[in-house]
Amino acid sequence: MRVSEFDYALPAELIAQRPAPERSASRLLHLDAASGRLQDLAFADLPGLLDARDALVLNDTRVIRARLAGRKASGGRIELFVERLTGAREALALIRSSHAPRAGAALTVGDGARVTVLGREADLYRVRFAEDVLPLLERCGAVPLPPYIAHAPDAADAERYQTVYAERPGAVAAPTAGLHFDRKLLERVAARGARIAYITLHVGAGTFQPVRVEEVSAHRMHKEHYEVPAETLHAIAGRRVLAVGTTTLRALESAALSGAASGETELFVCPGFRFRVVQRLLTNFHLPRSSLLMLVAAFAGLENVRRSYAHAVAQRYRFFSYGDAMLIERAA
């Protein structure tokens, strides 16, 4: 398959720049992939589609304030984007600079914190901080909003670009399907008898990177760390699994494929993939020609996705991270 098959036209005004006034006030497009039936719902209708047969699985990763402004020893400005924590004081990072820093280069970020460049791994730099990274990011970092959101991050984004159940710091992008849940809606899900379980997958910056090859099969995913706890495996056993977000789906299917409950995943889900765990997927609307749209097409069928997205555009759904949601029932 060619990447061009996953393109679609999207009016710029449908790219949500701010979240809905309340988390659960979004819209929900419901697709039955077997029949092709589409139904326009409110997100608050979701609990009514669940019962004791179901397990709702959420990604409890927490978005870190990954962007740091700084300077080189020469005084030149830089931006350091922490892509992945590799230790309490070490990370892999993107560095935006007029000239690429060399190994051994000294940088200053935030309120004067010192950083040393250790080396390079592809388009990322291995860096060491003179202090623990997470407290520094909380003190000086900026929320890493996606590139299609035009405004600078503010206090509202610090709250809303984070799920209400975020626990484990490490993501540089939110698992956006989970942004629609508030505590009351989760209580309504539990009251229906559905089990609620958690995985962790720390979303990397690669989630926003365009697919740069022409043939889908030539694309390679970035590595992300995942964990599927034993209690989650127990909760989903014998139940219909509803994965909240593509990251949750990738963690569950990675664990099933590898037999490892935790580790690194580069799983690329595209049409032809055989799903082993997930029967239902809750997800936002994704960018044209993206690996996330390819995952949705693998789950729902490409023609179903084309028709669903055309319907969403016609009905003025809101797209991408702060936009509306889609619930997909996978065909057998």
- Is pTM beyond 0.85? Reply is yes
pLDDT over threshold 90, residue 122: no
Co-location of 131 and 181 in the same domain: no
Is position 149 within any domain?
no
Q: Which residues contact 213 (CB under 8 A, 6 or more apart)?
A: 3, 219
Report the interhelical angle of 246-258 vs 291-300 (nearest 10°).
Answer: 70
The tens digit of pLDDT for each residue in 303-316 reads 999 999 999 999 99
Neighbours of 150 (CB within 10 A): 8
User: Do 220 and 300 lie in a common domain?
Assistant: yes
pLDDT tens digits, residue range 63-88?
A: 999 999 999 999 999 999 999 999 99
Q: How many domains does the chain have?
A: 2
Is residue 207 within 8 A of residue 63, CB to CB? The reply is no
Instruction: Answer yes or no: is 231 within a domain.
Output: yes
Q: How far apart are CA 286 and CA 323, in angstroms?
A: 10
Contact (CB, 8 A) for 93 and 127:
yes
Nearest by Cα to 325 from 292, 286, 276: 286
| Containing structural domain, residue 165 | 3-63+155-329
pLDDT 10s digits, 239-252: 999 999 999 999 99
Comparing CA positions, the residue from 112, 100, 103, 104 lying closest to residue 68 is: 112
Domain for residue 146, yes or no? no
